[in-house]
Amino acid sequence: MRSDQIKKGIERIPHRALLHATGLSRKDLNRPFIGVASSFTDLIPGHIGMRDLERYIERGICYGGGVPFFFGVPGICDGIAMGHLGMCYPLALREIIADTLETVCNAHQLDGIVCLTNCDKITPGMLMAAARLNIPAVIVTAGPMLSGRLRQRKLAFVHDTYEAVAKAKKGEISAEELACLEMEACPGAGSCQGLYTANTMACITEAMGMSLTGCGTALAVSSKKRRIAQASGERIVELVKENITPSKIITKESLENAIVVDMALGGSSNTVLHLMAIAHEAGIKIELKDFDRISKNTPHITNLEPAGAHFMEDLEYAGGIPAVLKRLKGKLNNVMTLGGKKVFEIADKAEIYDEEVLRPFSRAYHKQGGIAVLSGNLAPDGAVVKQSAVSPKMMKFSGKARVFNREEEAMQAILDGKIKGGEVIVIRYEGPSGGPGMREMLAPTAAIVGMGLADSVALITDGRFSGGTKGPCIGHVSPEAASGGAIAVLKDGDIITIDIPNRKLEVKLSNLEIKKRFKTWKAVEPKIKTGYLSRYSRLVSSADKGAILI
């Protein structure tokens, strides 16, 4: 066992003394040492139930014959971090988590790792670490939140809070209803109820085979989730004994399966960044064009929040990810999962309980998958849009630019009624380096919807969007403004054309005019000059490369 490096031989007497100080018996030294990386925190609704799941993971490891060692990793709630300086940190946290797991597991030579995670950047950080370490690993996502209730109406976090802000500004919601939404939209533990980033990552983690069958959609409050947690603890010990490492699960084929499922569900555009980063750690080449290629050949078969009417609980009761695999079987690779079953075996045993939540291809909500990759003179290296959340009338759009150098400036203009139909809001210097941290633009996009402008105004940014975003919102514009991308020299009134069907994002300027503007362009001063974010901004790559550290 790997852990023999710290517990075998006469030269390890000091090490054993310290291990015995933790309460281990001599018998324990003959068992696999299993780390449990828990992201429990009181700060994140998706993580507050993890103390319970920790008990079941621990029970499973002990039943399996291993020795569990718990350690903590930090977590950030993207919703609470949204709209201020705090949103510079979540994407950067992904790297801290990966580095933390690498550091702890290698320093203590752990034999295997169970990663207890849930919300947005924490899950990809755990997966990046698993791929980098390449020791047996199981991912346990803590599960989605139940929908809230206002009388008989289902409530979802984004729709009924962020969009409600703008509606309140317009006087469309009473103070009484607003107070109720604030209290009831998020009724308890779990990741937010729609197909936002956390739940998208949970679903595709299961699809790529790195969590046990059923884990992706099992609700946070369910006993099913407890049973999965315990089974995950037992399974990690088996994986150690069988020497099944992430490199045997995370392959080009399994990552393609994850993208297929992502496109079919219409998941968060953030998964583009995360899957490329995971692939990078695994030594696998995944590019933007892979997402677009797969999307063009994968029908969008669900209609989940934020763009649709269904919730994660509906997907769970429709059969969960096994049912999705059944529907998509003909488009998937028959690879092994860490549960010991191949994808087709899981698909064949699954049942689809709701043909409306999981439509057949003949009645797909859209012929193509959830994400499209655009390019043109405004984004030579690419840009990303969640096309499944764009109305048909806005799939092609042209308008005058309204340019802002910070999210807050754009947000104020939207709420003050200064944005008019036919305009394209441009928010720049919010990319991986310029942000730094590539802030999510959920507040502005939700405000656009709340102000009734979703079908007359577009938004483009070198930042990114929450999985809760809907409408013609194009992010990940590369190169970013801070790196001298064309978005840096846009001016108010420039005509921007968005053509999603033909994958185009262009500004009506000649190459000569763009070069002329760059002659007088000066890069802006870094927004943050000290601490971790300062280091991050100097090391991070562009969005089209996954915003990895180089």
Q: Annotated active-site positions, please?
A: 466
Per the omega criterion (within 30 degrees of 0), is the bond before 436 cis? yes
Strand pairing report for 504-507 and 495-499: antiparallel
Alpha-carbon separation of residue 261 from 201, 208, 331, 468 (angstroms): 11, 9, 9, 18
Strand pairing report for 371-376 and 379-386: antiparallel
Residue with the two structure tokens 């969007």: 465
Strand pairing report for 67-72 and 396-404: unpaired
DSSP 8-state assignment for residue 440: B
Q: Is the dihedral of CA 239, 242, 245, 249 positive or negative?
A: negative
Alpha-carbon separation of residue 442 from 90, 409, 447, 505 (angstroms): 14, 14, 8, 21
Q: Is the dihedral of CA 72, 77, 80, 86 positive or negative?
A: positive
Spatial distance between the Cα atoms of 324 and 329, rounded to a whole number of angstroms: 8
Strand pairing report for 153-155 and 371-376: unpaired
Spatial distance between the Cα atoms of 261 and 301, rounded to a whole number of angstroms: 10
Spatial distance between the Cα atoms of 9 and 13, rounded to a whole number of angstroms: 7
The two three-digit tokens of residue 270, written as one number: 């953030």
Closest CA to 435 of 409, 410, 408, 462: 462
- The total of other beta-carbon atoms located within 10 Å of residue 27's CB is 8
Spatial distance between the Cα atoms of 57 and 207, rounded to a whole number of angstroms: 21
